Amino acid sequence: MRVNGKPYRTIWLADDGRTVRIIDQTLLPHRFAIVDLRYLADAVTAIKTMQVRGAPLIGAAAAYGICLAMAADASDQSLDYAYDALLASRPTAVNLRWALDTMRAHLRNRRREERVEASYRRAAEICDEDVAINAAIGDHGLEILRGAAAKKRGKVPINVLTHCNAGWLATVDWGTALAPIYKAHDSGLPIHIWVDETRPRNQGMSLTAWELGQHGVSHTVIADNAGGHLMQHGMVDLVIVGTDRTTARGDVCNKIGTYLKALAAKDNGIPFYVALPSPSIDWRIDDGVADIPIEQRDASELSRISGRLPDGTIVQVEIAPEGSAMANYAFDVTPAHLVSGLVTERGVCEASAQGLRWLFPEGAPTAESKAHA
Q: Give me the active site residues, please.
A: 244
List, edge to edge, every strand of the sheet that includes 20-23: 11-13, 20-23, 34-37
Residues 335, 80: Cα–Cα separation, whole Å:
35
Residue 368, number of CB atoms within 10 A of its CB? 7
Backbone angles phi and psi of 91, in degrees to 5:
-80, -15
Question: What is d(CA 176, CA 101) in angstroms, rounded to the nearest whole number?
Answer: 22
- Nearest of 200, 175, 177 to residue 252 by alpha carbon: 177
Give one word for 51, left, alpha or beta, with left for phi > 0 and alpha for psi -120 to 50: alpha
191 CB contacts (<8 Å, ≥6 apart)? 145, 157, 158, 160, 181, 184, 185, 217, 218
Collect all residues with Cβ–Cβ distance below 8 Å to 128 and sequence separation of at least 6. Answer: 172
DSSP secondary structure code for residue 12 in this structure: E
Start-to-end Cα distance in the chain? 38
Q: How far apart are CA 48 and CA 157, in angstroms?
A: 38
Residues 6+ apart with CB under 8 A from 184: 142, 145, 146, 158, 191
CA distance readout (Å), 101 to 9, 47, 196, 279: 23, 17, 34, 11
In this structure, the number of other CB atoms found within 10 A of the CB of residue 364 comes to 17
As a whole number of angstroms, the distance between CA 364 and CA 246 comes to: 13
Rounded CA-CA distance 154/156 in Å is 6
Residue 311 neighbours by CB under 8 Å, 6+ apart: none
Q: How crowded is residue 229: how many other Cβ atoms within 10 Å of its Cβ? A: 13
